[in-house]
Amino acid sequence: MQHGKVRFVVAFLALPVGLYALFVLSPYVQAIYISMTDWTGLTGDQTFLGLDNYVRLAGDGQFLIALRNNGILLVVVPALTVLLGLFFASMLNVGRRGRSGIEGVRGSKVYRVVYFFPMVLSVSIVGVLFKYVFAPTEAGGVFNGILRGIGLESLTAPWLGDPAFAFWIVVLVMVWSFVGFYVVLFSAAMQSIPKEIYEAALLDGATRFHTFRHVTMPLVWDTVQVGWVYMAIQAMDAFALVHIMLGIGGGPSRDGDVLGLALYRSAFNDYRFGYASAIGVVLLLLTLVVSAVFLRAARRERVELS
């Protein structure tokens, strides 16, 4: 009987597992092998180089700039996005005490739509939109036009053409475009918390900050943990936004470069697919390591409502 059960399970799993290995795992294995060759992507000729491409990466100054920027994205974008998402979600669900008990601020249903609206736009539209918002004044830049209109012309600048601002503007745009999703995600988690718990905490003299820290956060922590890891993975994939807003070079002096853009240039501009694959493998390992480290560091005892 047990033998027949094993055969039944194997028969049903063989096809999906085989397809997964073929279309998901196989490309990873191929990319790792290609990263150890000098393949140009134009011919079938390949010379095995071992770890030479990875050694070259360690001495490539532009790669190190891209790696630094990805590190900044991994820390800053998830932190700002999750904190803003928690704050707005808290205001929309338990922002005030009304006649019927603890409820969201007035107009919370409208705010949910407003916050989520950026998620409806594709990343290409967001990139083009903000490229014109921060364009120079003579090119019709909206932000510079506003500064001039309120008498702050001295503060105008070529924002995306200045190495001091270009990359950080991309960071702010990423946060703006992602935060709406996390407002909705955290709102769904907070709506499962009985309002009586908040009312009891307020009756006991707890401030809103202590209520958020000792009631809300422990009860939505699992959602925050998953959201943080997902946000970190999204932050690593900043290729499209950087490409649209700063160009294929990564902005002025290439100070806004990221790993995805460096990979694209190496593969399709320089035709060094082996070197580009090495960058891709580094990006993969970095994502896996960061996800594993955060999941382990953020592990805590589950809090459940009885």
Read off the CATH number of the domain in which 243 is found.
1.10.3720.10
pLDDT band at 226 (very low <50, low <70, confident <90, very high): confident
pLDDT for 304 beyond 60: no
For 113-140, write each residue's pLDDT tens digit. 888 888 888 889 999 999 989 988 676 7
Question: Could you give the CA distance from residue 145 to residue 152 in angstroms, rounded to a whole number?
Answer: 10
Tokens read off for 72:
């900044």
The whole domain housing 101 covers: 61-297
pLDDT for 305 beyond 80: no
For 67-85, write each residue's pLDDT tens digit. 999 999 988 998 899 999 9
What's the whole-number average pLDDT of the chain? Answer: 85
Q: Is 2 contained in some domain?
A: no
* Alpha carbon distances (Å) from 148 to 24, 46, 134: 52, 57, 13
Tokens read off for 119:
């998620």
pLDDT for 192 beyond 90: no
Q: Is 10 contained in some domain?
A: no
Cβ contacts of 21 within 8 Å, gap of 6 or more: none
For the chain, the domain total comes to 1
Which residue in 183, 179, 176, 181 sits closest to 105, CA to CA?
A: 183
Sequence letter at residue 95: G
Least confidently predicted of 5-9, 14-18, 43-47, 137-141: 137-141
What percentage of the chain's residues is helix, strand, coil (to nearest 5)?
75, 5, 25
Q: Is 247 contained in some domain?
A: yes
CA 99 to chain centre: 39
Q: Is 80 contained in some domain?
A: yes
